[in-house]
Amino acid sequence: NRIIFPIENHLGRTVAFTGRLLPNKNELENPEITAPKYLNSPESPIFNKSKILYGLSRTKNSIAESRNVFLVEGQMDFLACWQAGIKNAAAVSGTGLTTHHLERLRRIADSVIVSFDNDEAGLRALERSLDIFNSFDFHVKVLNLGEHKDPAEAVLKEPDFLNKAINLAKPA
């Protein structure tokens, strides 16, 4: 009962997989029954989750052309961005932003718009990320999701929301 996503390194080579739990009737009726939402391949010499940005192999050219990256939390958020026409996105895959991520992005981008989940964990991750950004010379903006819980939900409910919200993002 999972959808499987291949995880590619920055060169486009599959190095791991992640499986996202699909909601089913049992879990919706009994929220106390919980399974991990995401299951990932184990860490290996070719897969270190804290060093890989999901989708970067597909978007690095758009990021380099615009010198701007839209940074989101998870695979579903990334895919929703792509579907909404935002081709300069990448996802941290729920690990939290690391210096490895920023070192890779700094080569191709000057500015970052951050949009993590609109919940307590996402806001804490955003605060930690802003501290990490201080070590790099990025122009950082934060996107306001309004009532939406994450970028994927925003695109699902209002297909043009992210494009408009990106233009209204505030400096961190």
Q: According to the model, what pLDDT value does residue 71 have? A: 97
Helices and strands (H and E) in the chain: how many: 7, 8
Q: Is 17 left (phi over 0), alpha (psi -120 to 50) or beta?
A: beta
Q: How do residues 70-120 score in pLDDT, each as one tens digit?
A: 999 999 999 999 999 999 999 998 768 999 999 999 999 999 999 999 999
Kindly list the averaged pLDDT for each block of 10 residues, start to end, along the chain of length 172.
93 95 67 77 94 96 98 94 96 88 96 94 89 91 96 95 95 93
